[in-house]
Amino acid sequence: MRKVYYIYNPKTRTYDRVYPTVRQRVMSLLRSLFVGMGFGIGAFLLFLWIFGTPSEKELRIENSRLQAQYDVLSHRLDEALTVMKDLQQRDDNLYRVMLQADPIADPVRRASYGGTNRYEELMDLANADLVVNTTQKMDMLDRQLYIQSQSFDEVVKLCKENDEKLKCIPAIQPVANKDLKYTASGYGLRIDPIYNTTKFHEGMDFSANIGTPVYATGNGVVTKAGWQSGYGKIIKIDHGYGYETWYAHLNDMDVRVGQKVVRGQVIGEVGNTGKSTGPHLHYEVHVKGRVVNPVNYYFMDLNADDYDKMIQMAENHGKVYD
Ligand SMILES: [Zn+2]
């Protein structure tokens, strides 16, 4: 239907019909169109602003799901790093100490990958902090795992080397338990059996019948097999690594100086030679030239119970045979 336009004529006080040009009609039409479109777009944008588009909503859900996953990942990396720290501590404070190796320096363990631009491209992301942080933790774990695996390679190598050392360190009793007549007397301040004065007893006495076999307590080389004042017939074995053992008051000696012996090999017989008040073996352990308590050097012979008994025996302030 065609629109009809009127205009008020004040002279005649009537409405005169006007006939607008085509151009005027088009302009009018466009104007209405633009206003309508403007309102429409405005309302649409308002709707989007308030509710979002369906696809945007999905993206948001996915995004928050990803963020939650990143959070979980970050948390699990924290846990893995804690386990890693535990491993490192055990490595430094137990394995490496046992094997007399230096702990791995902290800066080596904590060293990060070089380059400050490493995470730059991640900085543009939404949640950049979370993503960069998680990536950094991953890199840290990666690096520490590498260092730790190298360290364990070294530990295994040291273990193999120390296998030889463990064969040499004195680790058994020089007289078998079944052969012991009385409890042995220990290391420390004791009453001298001959002079009746307080004196430091530098070894352990194993009381047994004359002729009872005496065993080398670790692999080594015989450095003395002869008479020494006070000690009577004595055998000394150098085990290397700073360890030396003495076996005194022997009745008989089966080895000579320079001979190699292995742990458990019979080297002589219990006797009563030298300054001694009865048949027994006086046994000493020296580490780097200093005499030490032998009680800590029976670890291959004893289970936990036997060890307790041995400690009690060593504490025994009873009869010393010297
Ligand atoms: Zn003694």
- pLDDT tens profile 240-261: 989 999 999 999 999 999 999 9
Q: How confident is the model at residue 119 (pLDDT cuts 50, 70, 90)?
A: confident
pLDDT at 309 over 70: no
Dihedral of CA atoms 136, 142, 144, 148 in degrees, nearest 10, equals: 170
Helices (H) and strands (E) in the chain, counts: 6, 13
For Cα atoms 65, 71, 76, give the angle at the middle one, nearest 5 degrees. Answer: 130
User: 256: CA distance to ligand 1 center in Å?
Assistant: 23
Q: What is the mean pLDDT of the chain?
A: 85
Cα–ligand 1 centroid distance for 249 (angstroms): 9
Q: What percent of the chain has pLDDT over 70?
A: 89
Per-residue confidence at 295, pLDDT binned at 50, 70, 90? Answer: confident
pLDDT (tens digit per residue) in 56-102: 888 888 888 988 998 999 999 999 998 888 888 878 876 777 677 78
Quote the ligand 1 centre to 226 CA distance (angstroms).
17
- pLDDT for position 284: 95
**248: CA distance to ligand 1 center in Å?**
8
pLDDT in the model for residue 184: 66
Query: How does residue 19 score in pLDDT terms, banded at 50, 70 and 90?
Result: confident
Mean pLDDT (whole number) for 95-121:
74
Q: What spacing in Å lies between the alpha carbon of 267 and ligand 1's midpoint?
A: 18
Name the least confident of 95-99, 271-275, 314-318: 314-318
Average of per-residue pLDDT across 220-226: 97
Cα-Cα-Cα-Cα dihedral of 92, 94, 100, 101, to 10°?
Answer: -20
- Contact status, residue 171 vs residue 285, Cβ threshold 8 Å: no
Q: Which residue has the higher pLDDT, 271 or 106?
A: 271
Q: Which of 205-214, 218-227, 294-303 has the lowest mean pLDDT?
A: 294-303
Model pLDDT, residue 98: 63
What is the domain partition of the chain in residue ranges?
5-51, 67-168, 177-315
Q: What are phi and psi of 108, to 5 degrees?
A: -70, -45
Provide the whole-model pTM: 0.53
pLDDT per residue as tens digits for the range 148-159: 999 999 988 888
Alpha carbon of residue 272 to chain centroid = 51
| Model pLDDT, residue 251 | 96
Question: Ligand 1 mean position to 293 CA, how many Å?
Answer: 12
Instruction: Centre a 10 Å sphere on the Cβ of residue 1 and count the other Cβ atoms it contains.
Output: 3
What residues form DSSP beta bridges with 233?
227, 250
Q: 282 alpha carbon to ligand 1 midpoint, in Å?
A: 4
**Phi, psi (5° rounding) for residue 231?**
-85, -15
Q: For residue 224, how far is its CA from the centre of ligand 1 (angstroms)?
A: 18
Query: At the fourth CATH level, which superfamily is domain 177-315?
Result: Glucose Permease (Domain IIA) (2.70.70.10)
